[in-house]
Chain A
């Protein structure tokens, strides 16, 4: 009887262990679109804060920025010539000089173009 209990216990523990390991090893990527932004600010302010502290605390965090569209590329836009935003899915009907708010992951500061880079962006509003 005791042996049976032991076997049941062992099986349960092993199944739990295997399941946990599986979910740890094959965990999903972050879903930036569903994350609440850590910080909300103007595009030019985000750039300025990066130029002051290169290893900024918002690195890899979900950030919401707003600004004027200063450049439009195939799947990216630039806000206020300060933040380069790469979209997972490029919104249609974007126009230059239009004010926009977007949410995305802050990837870092690109010193060649002197811009902050964000990826996995989604449009919040216009």
Chain B
């Protein structure tokens, strides 16, 4: 009798693990690009192709993390200045978003793009800010695709652009992100 109970408990736990493993999807190879170029000046643009993200399919909770040193620029010097002078990536090595997709129902997702709003906290350069941004969700064969585009202000995150270069760097930074979660 006791043996049987143990078996049931074990089976129950196994089913639970299987179910809970099902409800989260993630990736370690999401893409984030940002651009802060000014017309007629050299492009200020970088890409990070190893952004990680996790989405809880039941609750719509979403988290994403980009390592600052993973942003690659065309020009090595620009990358160095970005890391050392602006982002201080040795002290603040990551940018993190933690939030939740408003009104997310995984069963309602389809192969046509749906617009949601994701609300949460963005932490960049050690400073946390509440933001809400539109996010487009599509169910593809490869997984759940998320895309978003939004603007950020460096000053909101305590990032100072010296006046010498301020005419070469836009006030608003356009960020684009793309993930395929599996």
**Complex Cα gap A117–B53 (Å):** 14
* Least Cβ–Cβ distance between A94 and chain B, in angstroms: 16
* Least Cβ–Cβ distance between B138 and chain A, in angstroms: 20
User: Do B75 and A26 have beta carbons less than 8 Å apart?
Assistant: yes
**Complex Cα gap A108–B50 (Å):** 11
**Complex Cα gap A115–B65 (Å):** 12
Stretch from A9-17, A35-43, A52-60 at the B interface = A52-60
Residues of B with C-beta under 8 A to A111: 65, 94, 96
Interface size on A, residues (CB 8 A): 28
Residues of A with C-beta under 8 A to B161: none
User: Do A110 and B67 have beta carbons less than 8 Å apart?
Assistant: yes
B71 — nearest CB in chain A belongs to which residue?
A107
- Most A CB within 10 A of own CB, among B28, B49, B83, B91: B28
A109 — nearest CB in chain B belongs to which residue?
B93
**Complex Cα gap A65–B83 (Å):** 24
| Chain A residues in the interface with B (C-beta under 8 A) | 24-30, 54-55, 59-60, 73-76, 84, 86, 105, 107-113, 115, 117, 119
- Could you write out 24 A-B pairs with CB less than 8 Å apart? A26-B75, A28-B76, A29-B76, A30-B76, A54-B93, A55-B91, A55-B93, A60-B89, A60-B90, A74-B29, A76-B28, A86-B29, A86-B49, A105-B69, A107-B67, A107-B70, A108-B69, A108-B93, A109-B93, A109-B94, A112-B26, A112-B64, A113-B26, A113-B28
